[in-house]
Every structure is written in C-alpha cells, then in structure tokens.
Structure 1
C-alpha cells in the first residue's frame, strides 16, 4: 500500500498554517531570546578564571578544572512570577543582573581545598569567587571592624562598586579552631520586590567573606528571595512529581504488557521483520549517548565530591549509566516491536504509521522525502501552538518557565552536538512509545482512534509535569495538547513525519539561544547544521527515488510460516463452507495467538 501522500491543497494549507504559526512564535516567543548574550564561551570563561586565580598568586595548573554553565533558577522564577517576563528583562538591564553565569571549579582529588570562580557569559567579568578550605586551616587574627573595612575596600575599589548605592544588610561571624570568618552583605537601595502581602521582599545583595587577610568569598548582585516563595515552589514541584510518578507507573505497566506481548508474538512476521531494525537503533542510541557523555564530561566532573577517589566516583557513575542503558533499551525495543505488531493488526490501512513499511520497501524514496518536509511544517505549527498556549497561560493563569535546556546544554564542549543527541533520543523514544505503541494500543483496547490518541497524549503530557514550568500541571496540559496534535499527524501522515517534527522541536529549544541570542559564529553555524540534517536526508531520498512498493510478504515467510499458512487456509476453507463470517474468524484466530499477517493472507486467499 502506498504512502499517505498529502494533496496539493493539503500542502498549501500546511505551508500557510506553518507560516502563521511561525509568525505567532516570533511575536510571542522570540523576545525571550533577545536579551540572551553568550558572547563568552566555555574556553574564554576558563581563561578568565585562570587569570583571576593567577592574580591571587594561585597556580591554576596545579588543580583539576571543570566549567559548567548555570542559570539562576530561583531568581528567574521569582522575577517572572512577581514582575513578569518584560519586568524581568527590564530589571536585568537596569541593574546589570546576571541571570546566567559560568562556574569554573579548580580542585584536587581527596582535598577539601578548592576554588570556584563565577564568570559573566556576557562580559567575561568575574562576578563571584569562593575559596573553600579546611575547617582547621589557620588565618591571622583580625577584628570585625578591620574585616568590615577590608570588605568595603575590596568591593568598592577592587570590584568597582559604588557602596553609596547600597545599605548595610547583614553580618555574621563564624569561629573555627584556628581562625574567625566574617561575612558582610549590602542591599541595593530601592530594590524591594514583594512576594505577597506581608510575606517578604526580594533584595539585590552584594557581599564578601573575610578570613584573616584574605577575601575568601565574594558575590555581586545575588537576589535574596523570601522563604515563603521557596516553600511555594517546593510545593509546586511536589505536585508535579506526583503527576509525573503516576504517569511513570502507568508507563511501567504498559512496558510490562509490551514485554509479555512481544514474547508471545516473537515468531510472527512483523516482530521478525522489525527485530533487526530496532536492535540496530539501540546500538545507534547507545553510541550517540556515549558521545553525549564525553561531550558533557565537564558536568560530570563538577559533581565530583573530593571526599572519595576520582576512580570510585567515575566507576559508580558509569555503573549506573550501564543500568540506565539496559532499562532504556528494553523500554524502547519492547514497546516498539509491540507497536509494530499491533499497528499491523488494528491499522492495516496505515502502513506509513510504522517502520515496517520502510523495512519492506526502501528508506530512500520520494514519499519519505515528503514525510521529512512535512515534519518541518509540523514543527513550525508546534512552535506557534506552544507559544499560543503559553501566552494564554501567562496572561490568565500566572504561568512561567525556566531556561532549563540552555543551562543543560551550554556546559558541553560542543553544545549543538548535545542538542542533536537530545533531539534524537526524545524523538525516537517518545514517538515510538507514545505514538506507534500508545496510539495503536489505545485503538486496540478503546476501539476508537480518537481515544487512543488522547490516551497516549495524556500519558505523555503528565510525564512532563515535573519539568520547570509553573504551575506544574500546566506543563502536563500543554504537552497533552501537543500530543493530541501529533497523534492526528501520526495517523494522517505517518510515524516519520512526527518523528522529524519532534526532533526539530527539541533541537530548536536546545539551540535557539545560539541562533537568536548573541553567541559565537561556531555555535550559530553548528546549530543551523543540526537543524538542517533531516532536510539533507530528504534531498538524498528524493534524488535516490527508489521503488516504494512493499515486498511480497509471502516471499519473506519462513518454511514454518508457509506450513502454518497452508494449515490455516485448509481450516478457513472448512469454516467458509460452514457459512462462517470472515471478520468473526479473524477475531477467533487472533484470540488464539495466530500471526495477524498470516490471518490476513489466509482470509484474502480464501474469502
């Protein structure tokens, strides 16, 4: 059966909707990236940090170093919730507030002493520093007045802050066996952002810690957030975890069912035909995830606690990684094979809704190229749809979100490679599990395709409720709506179309800051390349133009299946002579675990 090709009218309609959707995103979503400035990349940040340590008579070459990109999540949450996105943008510009920063860590194995330097990704300025030492480390004695004068002199003269713009905020004294540490902080005048009535204000602080003659720690413009807000967010996150856990348990039940189903049908034609493909995809996923780990080794090193040996830490990390790979492999292969089998049974008229169609025909044909191009159009529609949903949420429901993907990927050696891996992982796993398997499973047991689409979309959406969108339930609703849209596209245009659209969607959010914000030409160009990869594949498929006709199933049957088909035909001949209905016979044979494709062949020949 040929691929479901869109008509000329559908192409025109989809292109028009995609253009409108992109315009909606550009108006509502693009401004979020306008103030993102990542001019200082990881290498430059490390150079700045090393130079700063050298200025303090510290040799950075004696230490292991790691650098990660951070977002001030709590400040971002608070500002968005209290003054809105536009207010947050104005606050950042007015006060020189750094929402993003590079943290460069210098440490030694099994040694508590280490240095942490915070670098602005916009200007390269040092905006924070901390020297961690043993509690028993000694420092020359100093009284509080001299320590305060030292802190004021450092922040005013060395850092260049005008302390006349600040009021004294707080002081603390901590006595150790061999030293006394003094910490002082100041709050910027006129910056008091209320949470709720009588529930506290956020204040913009600067501060320093003096230990003997050393400024052991300092920070510039840190938002001091009321405790009530912290408790509010933690309650929100608990609700999100609750919804996500329910979804995860339901997914585990479906996973167990898929394992049972695949074991029961392991010798059927569909499972045998797709088995090699799915195991090949697992090998591919494992390889690109290994690339992801190597690319993000800085983040792994940043999590190292110097109380243990590095070898023990890395060994435990990779042991857990192996366990995760095994689980993810099972969670991908079993629902995938089950989905292929169920789809052939409940949606036989939709061969493009699975990989089996390409296994039986070819991967390089023009209809596949059309699917990829459709994927780009669907992606643009998804962008506009999401922007519209968030606009409604932000305007009427107090919704706000975080820069989670940006902080996760920017720490990589090559961020757009990490975006590529995230896009491949999410699109393959989630579209196979929630569209191919979920929709087909829903159609089999709910009997209606619309219920199957909603069931899989709802399960998918609630699984995202723990993400950094507040209130957390809104993320579940947003993803459920996107899932319903993808479910419709899956049924109408096939698995490959939604897979490409999902890949582009995740790659876009992983690299948009490098495309629309201020970043290096390397990050800008690399982000465009990974975004264009499916298009390159579409061009190759279009030029190859191989035959899309599926191979004859009979030629692919094993000798055992040929034997079973002859027995089945004989049985059907007898039941036909007795006046049996073909549809009822099919249901009876399926209940007795006959291969659905053998049943189709037998009924087609006999009836």
Structure 2
C-alpha cells in the first residue's frame, strides 16, 4: 500500500484531475451547447428494420439479410469545422442531412437484390440509397437513353418532395451516363451547395444521395493534410523498421547473454489482442470500402491486416529482448522477472502508479488540446474507422489499449531510449527522438491541422519517457494502458448501451484487477517455492 502515500504522485494526479476539469469547464463556458457527436438514438437493429421496411415498400425486396455500419461525411465535416460552420449547419440542416448516420446493407435471400440504404440514427428517416455496384453493372443497359433517364430522375425529384424549380441540372465530364446531379439554388452552407444525386435509367431509379459539394480549394487543402499525415506515418514506419533491424542485430551480437524469454508473454498477448481487434473491425472495413467491395474483399483486408500485425509482432518481440539486454548492460533492470521476489509487489505498485500518472497525463493532454484549439485553431471530426459503432463486438474495443501500451512502450521507451542514448550520448535527446517517431505514427487521426498531433503526442512521449526512466517498464505500461482504457471505456459509456456500458466500466478497472491477480498468484508461487519467505516491498523499478 506504499503507493497511496507517494505524495508527489498524489499531487500530480490531483493536478491532472484539476486541469482536466478546469479545461472542460472553461471550454463549456466558452462554447455553450457546442454541436458534437451524439449517441445514436436509434439502435442498429431498429435502423435495419426501418431500411428493410423501406426496401420492401419501394423495391419489393422479400426476405433478406441485413448488415449495419456507421458512417460519416468526413469531407463535409472537415469543411464545416475549418470554416467554423458546424454549429450553423447542425441547427439548419442537421436533422435532414446529418453528418453521421447508419448504412444498412440489404441482401435478398433470392440473390436478386443487393442495396445500401442510409438511415438517420436519431429518427429512422431514410436519407438515401444505392444499388451495389455488381448488381448495377448487371442491370444497366449498354447505352441508356439519356433523355428518358432524365425524365425518370426528374420525376423522382418530385416524388421525394423537392421543388424542381429550385434545382438546376448540372453536368460533369466524369459522371456516369445514368447519374444526374441537381444543384439547389437556395440551400447552401458557406460555399458548399446542396446537390441531389439521382442514379436512374429510362426504367427505374437505382440510387439517391443528398450531398453538399465543398469548394475545390477545401478538397485540395484536405488532400494536402492527408498527404502530410501519410508522409509522417511512413517516415515513422521507416524509423521503426530501422530500429527493429538494429534490435535484431543487438539480439544476434548479445545472443549468449540475452534472455529470449523476456517479453515473450506480453508479445503473445499483443498479437492475440491485435488480431482479435482486426477481426472485430470487419464493419469498419466495410464502411471504408463502400458499395463496390465484396465480402471476399473485406475478408482479404482482414487477412492482410493480420499479416501486417504478425510482422509488427516480430518488431515488438525484438524490442523486448534487445531493450532489456541494453539496459542490463548499464546495470539497470527495467522490470523484475516472475521468479524474482520483487515481482508481485512491483506489479501492484506499478499499477497504482499507472493510475495516478495517467490522471496527470490526461490533464496535460486536455491543456494541450485547449491551447491548440484556441491558440492554433486545432479541431477534430468524427472517425468511422475507429468507432465502437463499427465493431462486431464493441465491448472488445478497449483491448486495443493493451496492444498500444505493450507495443509502443516496448518499442519507443524500453528499446528506443536505450538505442538512441547509445547513438547521441544525451539522455534528453534519447527520450525526445523516439517520442517524435512515436508521435508521427499518430498523425492519421482526423485532427487538423495534422502537425498539432505531432506536437501533442511528442510532449506526451517525453512524459512517458521520464516515467519509464524513473519507475521502470511496468509502471509506464500501466500508465499508458490505463490512460487509453479510460478514454476507450468512456467511448463505450457514451456510444454503447446496456452491456457495453458495463464492459466499459470493467475495462477501466481492468489494470487494478490484473495487477491484483498477478500479485496474488506470484505471492502463492513464492510461498510454495520457499515456505516462510518474506516478500520484497517492490519499491524500486530496478529491483532484483
């Protein structure tokens, strides 16, 4: 229980809680009632039922299977946030043209119907629909009559309750022969004008979608931001590859002294959890792939992601064995082994330190976000690819926190600091350099401008680095995992319901439960091995 009387950590945790609460309070005061991502009112099951009822009435779909994904209009959302129009848009058009919604894929049992229907997740309103590309290609005539098809599209415009006089038929050189674009003369937000896309031939309407066409200047700006994020990610991956190669070389050079069991269990946990997450993200892969991807395409993506994960697993394992050896050669043991008397006490103390440190870091992160938002214009948008709403089992989402904590702390702290200290011979630089590489790998998140994420995560990396140097690997791993678990668990509390909320709370408490079980099991094993042994207090990270 020594942990809870560590005055400095308690003060840091209290400071973090104060900063977190103060920033949230000030932000709410500065922007009362700010528009943001809301929890869906409509469940996926209810959305599927609404879509199926519409498909039966409109298209005569019989018995069918459904699959629901969560989607966002990210290009539109970035434009609204960048031009500070998000609140205005939400008030004027949020109900009829929401940024976030459900898409229901419908496959008829007979195999003749394959459609995607968009459903408003706050009121079950049908927002649009499309025929799957494979079915559309099979049903379209080779050369549909454009004039007759336009008549069908115009009739659909009236059927949907729009005034044809308020729209102008647009023409684009890249548009499909059956696609008709009707631009509104009155509905716009900033320079983004409403267009109704209607896909039809002379016989029927295949699809309908309302879109706000953003200016080309914004499209180019977002493309530039995405390119910068992609470049930083690839640079990070390049350095990670070089670090893995260096670790592999160290493992060969020191193979006689090295312990190849170090980190093996944690590496296995990382691989299992990450592969599980890849399978769990099947809906996210479908949402990202759009209407053109087949089931086999999505399965291929999942297999490829697991292959990449296995390659990353090799790098994580090399970081463990080489990092531990590099520190051993300096006379410091970053974390005790199971057979050492200090292990049980150390894992318990590390868990407690982790909770306290994570509270401090969360407070620092909120301050960084606040400064970035009000000083540098940072903003973020919803991301369908990382939402629990796009997972087969949302309650498994927080397992990714352990993957991040295990792999990133092994790579960038345990091995990274030791590796760069050998090169630069300056401890601060040895902490800073892997932190920058780590931060560069986090720039793909939809937070703009993208460089702000690089700065924010680098600062957090420096904090994690010095936590590692002061308290050891287990403490920094628990701090990282606990921080992510609190944030991911909160996502489940906000977007989930029923059991998901319970699982969110469980994941938040899981570091405590894991540490308690490990400390208890270790204590039993020690007593069996040497009856009457007095356990070490585990107060030092370098114990043993």
Normalised to the residue count of structure 1, the TM-score between the two structures is 0.75
Residue 535 of structure 2 aligns with which residue?
A: none
Distance 1:405 1:207 in 2: 23
Alignment match of 1:296 (pick from 281, 304, 308) = 281
Number of residue equivalences: 518
Deviation at 1:482, TM superposition (A): 0.7
1:342-362 deviation per Cα after TM superposition (whole angstroms, max 9, x unaligned):
1222361xx4x33x4455336
Distance 1:306 1:219 in 2: 13
SS state at 1:465 partner: coil
What do you get for the CA RMSD once the two structures are aligned? 3.9
Q: 1:254 to 1:308 in 2, by over 3 A?
A: closer
Distance 2:169 2:483 in 1: 46
Distance 1:440 1:28 in 2: 40
Residue 364 of structure 1 aligns with which residue?
A: 344
SS state at 2:67 partner: strand
1:146-167 deviation per Cα after TM superposition (whole angstroms, max 9, x unaligned):
43552233221xxxx6x49x93
Q: Does 1:287 align with 2:272?
A: yes
Residue 188 of structure 2 aligns with which residue?
A: 191
Alpha carbons 2:280, 2:391 under 8 Å: kept: yes
Q: Does 1:40 align with 2:30?
A: no
Residue 134 of structure 1 aligns with which residue?
A: 137
Q: Does 1:218 align with 2:230?
A: no
Alignment match of 1:537 (pick from 514, 518, 522) = 514
Alignment match of 1:155 (pick from 156, 160, 174) = 160
Q: Does 1:414 align with 2:419?
A: no
Deviation at 1:47, TM superposition (A): 2.5
SS state at 2:193 partner: strand
**Pairwise mapping of residues 66-105 of structure 1 onto structure 2 (< 5 A)?**
66-83=67-84, 87-96=85-94, 97-105=97-105
Q: Does 1:521 align with 2:498?
A: yes
Distance 1:316 1:69 in 2: 21
Residue 242 of structure 1 aligns with which residue?
A: 231
Deviation at 1:455, TM superposition (A): 1.7
**Pairwise mapping of residues 379-398 of structure 1 onto structure 2 (< 5 A)?**
379-398=358-377
Q: 1:438 to 1:149 in 2, by over 3 A?
A: closer
Distance 1:463 1:149 in 2: 48
Q: 1:407 to 1:7 in 2, by over 3 A?
A: closer
Q: 1:98 to 1:252 in 2, by over 3 A?
A: same
**Pairwise mapping of residues 256-405 of structure 1 onto structure 2 (< 5 A)?**
256-268=245-257, 271-272=258-259, 275-300=260-285, 313=297, 316-317=300-301, 320-321=304-305, 323-346=307-330, 348=332, 351=333, 353-354=334-335, 356-358=336-338, 360-361=340-341, 363-365=343-345, 367-404=346-383
Distance 2:298 2:151 in 1: 44
SS state at 1:276 partner: coil
Deviation at 1:289, TM superposition (A): 3.1
Q: 1:57 to 1:364 in 2, by over 3 A?
A: same
Alpha carbons 1:29, 1:387 under 8 Å: kept: no
Consecutive unaligned residues of structure 1, counting only runs of 5 or more, are 194-200, 553-596, 602-607
Alpha carbons 1:204, 1:223 under 8 Å: kept: yes
Q: 1:128 to 1:136 in 2, by over 3 A?
A: closer
Residue 49 of structure 1 aligns with which residue?
A: 51
1:418-451 deviation per Cα after TM superposition (whole angstroms, max 9, x unaligned):
x223212111110110111112223333333322
Distance 1:210 1:284 in 2: 51
Deviation at 1:536, TM superposition (A): 2.0
Deviation at 1:473, TM superposition (A): 1.9
Residue 436 of structure 2 aligns with which residue?
A: 458
Alpha carbons 1:24, 1:388 under 8 Å: kept: no
**Pairwise mapping of residues 2-13 of structure 1 onto structure 2 (< 5 A)?**
8-13=6-11
Alpha carbons 1:364, 1:540 under 8 Å: kept: no
1:314-372 deviation per Cα after TM superposition (whole angstroms, max 9, x unaligned):
77446534532431121110011111111222361xx4x33x4455336533x422322
Alignment match of 2:244 (pick from 243, 255, 258) = 255
Alpha carbons 1:4, 1:492 under 8 Å: kept: no
1:258-313 deviation per Cα after TM superposition (whole angstroms, max 9, x unaligned):
00101222231xx32xx3353333332333234324433334556789999866x4
Alpha carbons 1:401, 1:469 under 8 Å: kept: yes
Normalised to the residue count of structure 2, the TM-score between the two structures is 0.82
Consecutive unaligned residues of structure 2, counting only runs of 5 or more, are 530-541
Alpha carbons 2:275, 2:309 under 8 Å: kept: no
Deviation at 1:54, TM superposition (A): 1.6
Distance 1:242 1:306 in 2: 28
Distance 2:489 2:46 in 1: 20
Distance 1:61 1:338 in 2: 58
